[in-house]
Structure 1
Amino acid sequence: MENTRIRAADADRERVATAVQIAGSEGRLTLEEVEERLGRVYAARFTDELGALTADLPRPAPPSSGFPLTRAALRRHPALRVHLAVVVAIAVVATVRWVALGAGFFWPVFPVFWLAVSLLVHARVRSARERPRTAVPY
């Protein structure tokens, strides 16, 4: 039978050592456990040995997404493009009506604000549905 174990690189060891140090700084491991695991990390020759050293530690949370309303999101979701078009059309109509009536107070700010909020919520929901669901153990 062929040996299928993969040798660990220095970068692999450093990545695991960082995870062990972070777990120690968070109080998940005692100082003795950190020292013992770090010794085993730097002595490890194969990647499966490294995986065993962090198997009981929680995985880092996935990075949060940035601003949800991007050009890429608009390209991927036609419903967002329609929603944006409706928001812009209503904002333009409300502003034109405000100008035509000569009202002193700029009242269109209220409906435009809530329309923009609804668009951002729509974009956030769409981006949340795209992200893979991963459980973060604690």
Structure 2
Amino acid sequence: METTPTARIRAADADRERVATAVQTAGSEGRLTLEEVEERLTRVYAARFTDELTELTADLPRPDPPRPGFPLTREALRRHPALRLHLAVAVAVAVLVIVRWAVLGAGFFWPAFPLFWLTVSVFVHARVRAARERPRAAVPY
């Protein structure tokens, strides 16, 4: 009975670029000498299969995954009209309850409670949007 060799996966240009970036980063951090960087980059761009790429970065530390930043930014508001609308509605409701409090002359600042929950809802919405946008973990080489 003839056994078939294990199937090798061909490397894509994106795979090569990802590994090349890791090698260049290691060189800029001083983990590799200039000669090692040149040698590995030559091998990266000559690689045809992903297992060839894996061995080029096996001795390099893996970068820490990026931590999510503050979810409510101008860029997030620009990209997500629903988030922008949510924030606009929250601000409008906040203005209405504060005006009502001021007109009625109530001593206790009762709008603090709805304002708190409006703020929490906007931040949760922004955090969920940011989590949905975050790229899934790629297979490290």
TM-score (norm 2): 0.60
Q: Does 1:101 align with 2:95?
A: no
Distance 1:12 1:97, change over 3 A: closer
> Deviation digits for residues 78-134 of structure 1, max 9, x if unmatched?
100110011001101110111111111111111111111110110111111111110
Distance 2:138 2:127 in 1: 20
Q: Give the C-alpha shift of residue 44 in structure 1.
A: 7.7
User: What residue ranges of structure 2 are gaps of 5+ in the alignment?
Assistant: 1-19, 45-52
Distance 2:129 2:114 in 1: 23
Residues 59 and 136 in structure 1, CA contact (< 8 A), matched pair in contact too? no
User: What residue ranges of structure 1 are gaps of 5+ in the alignment?
Assistant: 1-7, 19-37
TM-score (norm 1): 0.62
Residues 68 and 123 in structure 1, CA contact (< 8 A), matched pair in contact too? yes
Distance 1:107 1:136, change over 3 A: farther
Residue 62 (structure 1) aligned to one of 57, 62, 65: 65
Q: Does 1:126 align with 2:129?
A: yes
Residues 58 and 136 in structure 1, CA contact (< 8 A), matched pair in contact too? no
What corresponds to 2:80 in structure 1?
77
Between the two proteins, what is the percent identity of the paired residues? 63
What corresponds to 1:111 in structure 2?
114
Name the SS of the counterpart of 1:63 in structure 2. Answer: coil
Residues 94 and 108 in structure 1, CA contact (< 8 A), matched pair in contact too? yes
Report how many aligned residue pairs link the two structures. Answer: 109
